[in-house]
Structure 1
């Protein structure tokens, strides 16, 4: 049977460059590599627009949501699938549905609890809802959303620049034996940076041979900086700000840490897996999907003592660290391979078109 060609429009109207925007670009890359026509509808002058254009994708960008809505009403009918990446822009995809009549696929990446009658209607008018973790799936099912499928986030290996990472540390007076710990997390409430600071204070009470690098910015930067100073951690806890090539830091890290109170999945953990850095994290949201079964050390939410103990364990027991890294790398390679996850998406999208998509073995989609 000849497979009906797809035309996919990716929708993401976020301003910044965070995990969801990176995954949007990964989705586009996966579809393009599979020979599928894919374009992007996004916010004008945002990082995603720039990176998508650099990658050679057709991009339609607007300064406000009215431009987005007009585009969907006027041109949305030229696409089989609207793949929506945020709840905000899902609203406009649904409102314009009588005009574009395309199938709407929504990937939900956050574990915030939805509410409201309009949100229920929005989900009812969405043709397929995908959750990136079992935690998000449970939240959606509790809200009354049916037939939710879990497709996790992808990870794509890139060449890291160790020299560039070392340059980031040029102004830090570190001894050669200093252990380097770190996280890549915005300074916002649901990432719970205060628990991270308190955990590092607990660790500093046990040992002094480390520095913690916190990459990310956000509304809580000033109070976090004040907490660091109040606990006398200026020599141990460094706020590094935002960096475009933050993955480079994995060439230096001895342990990666997540202190989130809420977390849809935690795709930066996948970076740590792929670059063979052991991980300590909370059991928030989708993190158990990643860190369970020996792939990391899981701790209760808001438990600085548990996080500190987990970090200390990985620094003092290399056998545990090495085994964790081995298991985690294999998991990331097999379960979060872009080609493998793209195949899962395409199976759903072709099914929505009433066309069977050929099944493939795991080996075929991995290699």
Structure 2
């Protein structure tokens, strides 16, 4: 069996990490896999790991023609982003290969002709949570829908450099660190976190906030931070390759998203034994059990978010309880092995239909 995975995104976010773990797992199981992507972080990481790559240009017409030709050499095409599905669906008309799409967002697809066309050409649509699946009910044939949860790397704990963690913590002079790993995009609603931070910082003098990630809202967020006069305690630190060390340096992990198909960042914090607070956004509710493995607060409610942060800041025993429960959940439900096995089942189903 030969699988061609397609991801058209620049940068390296959660979806790209999930793809990389999947491909590595498939190769370990003897399934020939290659990644078609633009020359950026995912491409570089694949090359470094010895994973076969097909270089895309970022031009949809050129890349469609490339997939139409290259796809003939594979048994299944697996699109991992919306734009990847665009070109993969069009290419299917020529390469005639089964097409699987993994959808990671929890908002409804656009109700237009082309969107309906590409979903109709998808043989299977994998949703990374039940919340994502719910957005497709009535839009996509239910027989095509599957749920396979995203996961976190079980080796993440072992990859932590404790000396690096200590150095990060020392750079903030022993403060209580509230952090997140999130792109600076509308979906992640960092302004909500900034508003909550301004409330927290009025009551807790030894707290700092850190956001690790890049995005097109950086300038806007910097202005908001300055307008609230918290620029000496709220830091946008950019993309960090060793994000596990930063998360491990946090005292508390917060995700303030408006939309969240599923969040590998939450899982990362849980397996690294950092207490979590998340908004009731999509798949986040399927990871965290409120008041057992973390707090779930309302979307866009900065006051409730601030209250939850202050409660965990003030109650170390509660933080410890959340951490213990969360760690067990991750180990039981969200493993690379389980995700890879689930995808292999889907691939085998497609191969049987192909026969």
The one-character-per-residue Cα deviations of 1:49-86 (angstroms, maximum 9, x if unpaired) are 00001111111102233342223222312211111101
Gapped regions of structure 1 (runs ≥ 5) = 1-5, 356-367
> 1:224 corresponds to which residue?
221
> 2:51 corresponds to which residue?
57
The one-character-per-residue Cα deviations of 1:231-273 (angstroms, maximum 9, x if unpaired) are 1212321111121111211221110001111111111001001
C-alpha spacing 1:47/1:230, structure 2 compared with 1 (3 Å): same
**Bigger shift: residues 63-72 or 108-117:** 63-72
> 1:197 corresponds to which residue?
194
C-alpha spacing 1:94/1:153, structure 2 compared with 1 (3 Å): same
**1:31 pairs with 20, 23, 26, which one?**
26
d(CA) in 2 for partners of 1:61 and 1:75?
11
d(CA) in 2 for partners of 1:145 and 1:118?
16
- Contact 1:41–1:68 under 8 Å retained in 2: no
TM-superposed deviation, 1:145: 4.0
> 2:35 corresponds to which residue?
40
**1:258 pairs with 237, 255, 280, which one?**
255
> 1:136 corresponds to which residue?
132
**Bigger shift: residues 267-276 or 105-114:** 105-114
- Contact 1:16–1:47 under 8 Å retained in 2: yes
d(CA) in 2 for partners of 1:128 and 1:161?
40
User: 1:303 aligned to 2:297?
Assistant: no
C-alpha spacing 1:280/1:270, structure 2 compared with 1 (3 Å): same
Q: Superposed, which structure 2 residues align to 1:153-172 within 5 Å? A: 153-156=150-153, 157-158=155-156, 159-168=159-168, 172=172
> 1:360 corresponds to which residue?
none
**Bigger shift: residues 160-169 or 194-203:** 160-169
TM-score relative to the length of structure 1: 0.90
TM-score relative to the length of structure 2: 0.93
Aligned pair count reads 346
Gapped regions of structure 2 (runs ≥ 5) = none
d(CA) in 2 for partners of 1:91 and 1:229?
40
CA RMSD of aligned residues (A): 1.6
d(CA) in 1 for partners of 2:306 and 2:171?
26
d(CA) in 2 for partners of 1:123 and 1:144?
7
